[in-house]
Structure 1
């Protein structure tokens, strides 16, 4: 089964080897028929501390790395 890949924006890079990525999703409300934007933050592993606040990154599911981290930052080529 393929691992999930999501695109988001880095909102925090203060932790060592970790970035917090905000992923936004849009969907139509089933009753109101209005487009709704919802976002969620994920902690992702960034081995080289390469990414800074504001960067658009792809994250991929992985085995648990720590109590909160279950995602890894990947390059755009790997996401395709």
Structure 2
């Protein structure tokens, strides 16, 4: 995940954009930080999804085939 400093900077820029506005350089920085945050979030979320096992009330494994295939291939999960 992102460092606490970067998250604090994202929040600072978001607050300033709502109040006083941002310079072009700050807007570019905000865009880059948001993209980095989203990239890391998506990567982490995909990893969590690949570790999920779906079980029905009877206790049978009903994990979707797409997820099972992604686990076997250790590739990016897409549905």
TM-score relative to the length of structure 2: 0.21
Q: RCO higher in 1 or 2 (8 Å CA, sep ≥ 6)?
A: 1
Is the helix fraction higher in 1 or 2?
Answer: 2
Is the strand fraction higher in 1 or 2?
Answer: 1
Q: Max radius of gyration: which structure?
A: 2
TM-score relative to the length of structure 1: 0.21
